[in-house]
Amino acid sequence: MAPERHARHDPDRGHGTVSALGALAGVQRRLQTSRPEQLDQDITQALAVMGKALDADRGYLFQIRDTVVIQNSHEWAAPGIAPVQPDLKETPFSAGEVYWTAFRRYGILRLRTLSSLAAGSEFHTILTQQKVKSVIAAPIWQHPKEIAGFVGFDFCRATRNFTAEEDALLLCFAASLGSALDLATLTRQRNKLDAALGDATGRLSAMVNALPEFLVEVGQDGLITGFHQGPPLTFALTPAEVIGHPLEQVLPPHIAGISREAMAQVDRNGWSESFSYPLEIGRSEKRYSLQAMRRSAGNDSRPQGYLFVVRDISESYRQDTHLRQLGQVVELSSNLIMLTDSDRRITWMNPTCTRSSGILLEDAVGLRPGDVLRLGQDNSDASTMISAALDRGDPIDLEVRALNQHGLPYWVDLNIQPLRDPEGEIHSFMVVGSDITLHKLAEARALRDRASAMDASQEGIAISRADGSLSYMNAAFRKALGLDEDTQTETLSWHDILPEMLDTFRLAIIPELYAHGQWRGEITLPHSVRQDRHFELSISVQDEGSFLTIARDITAHKDTEKDLALLREQVQVVQSHHLISQVASGLSHDLFNVLAVISATAESLRRNADADVVRGLTHLDAATAQAMALVRNMNRLGQRNVSKRMHNLRELAGQAAGLVRPSLGGDVTLCLELPKDRIDVLCDRTEIMQVLINLLINARNAVMGAGRPRASIGLSLCRADDAHMAATLDIGRLQPDRPYACIIISDTGNGIDAAAREHMFQPYFTTRGENGGGLGLSIVSDILLANKAALSVDTTPGAGSRMTVFWPHAAPDAAPRPPVTTLQGLRVLLVNTNDHALADIAATLTAAGLDVTSCIAPQDAVAAVSAGPVDWDVVLIDHDMTPISGYALAETLLSLSKTLPVVLVDSQKMLQFAKNAAHVNGMKVLSGTVTHAALLAALADVTARKSTSS
C-alpha cells in the first residue's frame, strides 16, 4: 500500500509547530556556521532538537554510497528508546525501495501505520524489528534527480498523524542538512586542493631554484649580447671575450650550426624545438639540450633577438637511453610480458602476447592476464594459488597450461611480481611468461623414453606410493617375483606381493628411507620349487614422495661367491695336504735311511752269532720290516684322489682372478686378457686353481714388495704357437706334436735374482723371511710335473717377472667321432646339479647340433619325462648328484618309460658294478674321465641301439 499523500492541518498542534519552526531556525544557523571537523556532532545535536520538536522517538541520517545505504554516527534516540540496530546501519539500496518511490512521487515519506505495508515484506520486517509504529522521512537531494540520502524520524510509542506544517518543517531540515554536507564536502576538497597546490608550488619553486641553466642572449644580427650562467654550466671564456662576438666564433661548429637552426625555427614559429647534442669536456662526454625563443623588450612586440636556454641533460639522457633500451628489450623479447594495475587488470602487454593470443593491445586493456592466456577451468587450482599469493603480496612462479589464438595448448612458466611504490604499497603487477612447450615436450619424450627403458631393462624397476601401493612395475621385476604378465600390479601393494618382507620393510627399510632418503641392501626371496633368489635392492624417495625401487638379481653372483668360497676352501685343504705330504715325505726318507742302517747292521751280526743272538736278530728284522712298512705308509699322508675332467680354462682363470683381486688393495691393478673362445683342457679343477692362485699370489707379493706406484699384474690366456714353444723351460718338458694352452702371469715387481732363481722351486725356500712359507712354487712344480705340463720363467732384476705355464690339451680320443649328421636335432634331456658342468656340457652338445634341454633339479627331469616320455631321444645324467644319485634318478625315469635311452656319467667311478662304457640295467654307463668326443659317441651309440631295436 502506498504511503499517505496528504497531511491534514491540525489546529490543536499549531503551538507545537511554531516552537518547531523556532527550533529549525536555530538548527539552520548552527549548521551554516559549522566547521567540517564539528559537523558530525552538530548534525547529531540537530537531530535531537528536531526530534524533540516533532515529539519523535528516534532520529537518524542515512547516506547513499554506491549500492548500500549507510548510517554512520548521525543518530538520536529518546530516553528508553533503543538506537538503530547495528545490522541495519548498512543495508542494500534495494531494501529502501519504498523510500525512493515515495520521494520521487510525493517528495516525502509519511507512514502513519504499518498496516499499509505488505506483511512479511523486507521493509515491513525492518520496521517491526525496530518497533516502529509511524515514520516520516525527507530526501536529501544531490542533484535534481539524484538522491544522496535521507533524514527520518520514528515514532515507537504510538501511531502519528502528520500535518502539512510538519512536512514542510522536515523538508526544510533535510535541505539544511544537505547544504551543510555539501558545504563540508566542498570545504574539505578546497582544503585538499589548497594543500596540493601549496605542495606543488613549493616543489616547483625548489625545482626552479635548483635548475642549473645557461642563458644566452643573441641579437637579431646573431651577435651575443649577454648571458647568465650557473653551476655546473660555466663558460671557460669571460663575458668580455664572448659578448659582441658571433656564435661561430665562440661555439664549436656543430653547436653553432644547431643554434642557427634554432634561430630559423624561432623566426618561423616563435619558438624552437629542443635540440640535444654531445660535448666532450675533459675526458668525458656530456649531453646538453638547447632551446631558443623570441626575446622582446617591454611592451614592444617586435623581435629584439633570441634567448637560448642550455641545460645539462647527461644524467636524464643516460636514464632515457637505458629506458629506451629496456623498452626495446621488452618489445623484442620472446617472453610474454604484461603490466597490470593494482586490481590486476592489464594496462600494457608486449607484441609477443599479441602474437600468441591474437588479442590486440587496445582490446587487452582492462582484461586479466588469465583471459589473455585463456587459462580456463583446467587451471582452476593454479588460478586459486595465484590469487592467494597476490592477495598476500607475494611473488609467485608456477607452470600453467595456456591456449593460443588457435585453441592449441602450450605451456608457460609464469612469474608474477608485485610492484611497490616508495611507501611499500602495491601499485601494479608485472607478469612474465616463458614458453616452455619445447621443454615440456622434451620432458614428456624423456619420460616416455624412461618408461621404455625401464620396460626393457634387465633390472627390476618398480614405483610405489608412500602407503606401499604400486603404480608401476616392469617386466623384469614381474618375472623375478613370479607374477604373470597380465597381473594388474597397480591394484596391489608390496604387502600383497611380499608378505614375508613386511617386518623387514617396517623395521629396517622405512626408517632408513625417511632418515636418509635412500636404502641399499640385499634380500633373499624363498622359492618353493627352485632355489632361493637373491636380490640387491636400491630404494630412493622421489621428489613427489613416491618410492623408486631397483632390484638386481644377484642369485648367479651369490652362487659364484659360494662356489669361489668352496673353491678357496678346497685350495686351502689341498695346500695343507701338500704341506703334510712334503713333511711326511722328508721324515719317511730320513727314517727309512736309519732303518736301512739298522737292517744292514743286524745282517752283519747274524753271520757270527750264536743261536740265541740269531733269534734276537730275527725279532729285530721283523720289527725293522714293520717300521719300514709304516714309513712307506707315511708317504701317502696328505695325498688326495685326483679327478680329471674337461674344464674351460678361460672360466677357471677368471675365477682365480676373482679370488685374488680383493687382496690387492687400491694401488695394484689386475689386468685380464682372456680369449672369447673356450680353451678346454683335461685337468683336476683344484690342481689347476692351485697353480693359478699360487702364481698370482707370488706376483702380488712381488709388486707390493717393490713399493712402486701404479703397480700391475697381468693374466692372459692363449693357445701356444711356435714362438711360445721355443721358450726355455724351468719345469717339465714339451712334446712337439702335442698342442698346449699358455697361461701367462706377469708383474711389475723387482724381478728374481740369479741366487733366488736357483732355489725358487725347492720346498721351504722363500725370500720373504718369516712372512713366507716357501711352498707355493714347490706345489706348482709338483702339479705341473704330475700333469705333464711345463713352466717357463722370464725375469729381469728390477724389471718384473713373467711366468708362462704350458698345459696340455686333452689327448685325442681313440674312439672315432660319430658323424655329426647322426646327432643333428637329437632331443637330449641333460640333468646335472653342478651348474658350471651343466652349462659346459650343454654348450658342447648344442655346438654339435643337438637340441638340449637342461635341468639343474632332478625333480624337474622327472616332471619333464612324466609330461611327455616320447619327447626325448636320450637322457644324459651325472651320477654324482644330490639329494638323489644319478643312478636312482635313471631308475625312476626308466620306470616311467622303459624304452627311454639313458646315459649315466660316473666320473668318480662310484658304481662298483659298472665298467667303462658298460650297459647296466638298460642304461649306458661312462666311468672315469669322459671326453667330449667319447660323450658324443655314447649318445650316438644309444640312439643307434634304439633305432635298431625299433
Residue 247 has pLDDT above 60, yes or no: yes
Predicted pLDDT of residue 16: 52
| Lowest mean per-residue pLDDT among 194-208, 463-477, 879-893 | 194-208
pLDDT band at 29 (very low <50, low <70, confident <90, very high): confident
Predicted pLDDT of residue 33: 77
Predicted pLDDT of residue 136: 93
**pLDDT (tens digit per residue) in 704-732:** 877 777 788 999 999 999 888 888 888 88
**pLDDT (tens digit per residue) in 831-855:** 988 877 787 788 888 888 888 888 8
Give the helix ranges, DSSP H, for 211-344.
Answer: 239-242, 247-250, 253-269, 314-332
Three-state SS across 828-840? EEEECCCHHHHHH
Predicted pLDDT of residue 922: 61
Predicted pLDDT of residue 345: 92
| Lowest mean per-residue pLDDT among 5-14, 26-35, 390-399 | 5-14
Residue 757 has pLDDT above 90, yes or no: no
Residue 573 has pLDDT above 80, yes or no: no
Residue 67's alpha-carbon distances to 54, 64, 74, 139, in angstroms, are 31, 7, 20, 17
Residue pair 625/603 in contact (Cβ under 8 Å)? The answer is: no
Predicted pLDDT of residue 98: 84
Q: How far is C-alpha 620 from the geometric centre of its chain's CA atoms? A: 91
The residue ranking higher by pLDDT, 810 or 338, is: 338
pLDDT band at 240 (very low <50, low <70, confident <90, very high): confident
Q: Look over the chain and give the mean of its residue pLDDT values, rounded to a whole number.
A: 79
Residue pair 876/869 in contact (Cβ under 8 Å)? The answer is: no
| Lowest mean per-residue pLDDT among 14-23, 317-326, 653-662, 689-698 | 14-23
Q: Which residues pair with 154 in a beta bridge?
A: 58, 135
The residue ranking higher by pLDDT, 421 or 949, is: 421
Residue 593 has pLDDT above 70, yes or no: no
The C-alpha atoms of residue 137 and residue 59 are separated, in whole angstroms, by 10
Q: What is the mean pLDDT of residues 742-749?
A: 91
Residue pair 273/259 in contact (Cβ under 8 Å)? The answer is: no
pLDDT band at 473 (very low <50, low <70, confident <90, very high): confident
According to DSSP, the β-strands at 336-341 and 300-312 are: unpaired
Establish whether the linkage from the previous residue to 763 is cis, with ω within 30° of 0.
no
Predicted pLDDT of residue 529: 45
According to DSSP, the β-strands at 923-927 and 134-143 are: unpaired
Count of CA atoms in the C-beta half-sphere (13 A) of 372: 36
Most confident range (mean pLDDT) of 554-568, 602-616, 910-924 is 602-616
Question: pTM of the full predicted structure?
Answer: 0.33
Residue 17 has pLDDT above 80, yes or no: no
Q: What is the mean pLDDT of residues 187-209?
A: 74
Predicted pLDDT of residue 261: 93
Q: What is the DSSP string of 655-688?
A: HHHHHHGGGS-SSEEEEEE--SS--EEEEEHHHH
Predicted pLDDT of residue 820: 39
**pLDDT (tens digit per residue) in 332-367:** 888 889 999 988 899 999 898 888 888 998 998 999
Residue pair 718/675 in contact (Cβ under 8 Å)? The answer is: yes
The C-alpha atoms of residue 139 and residue 163 are separated, in whole angstroms, by 18
Judged on CB neighbours under 10 Å (0-12, 13-18, 19+), 84 is: middle
876 φ, ψ to 5°? Answer: -110, 120
Residue 352's alpha-carbon distances to 329, 330, 333, 732, in angstroms, are 12, 9, 7, 88
The residue ranking higher by pLDDT, 346 or 122, is: 346
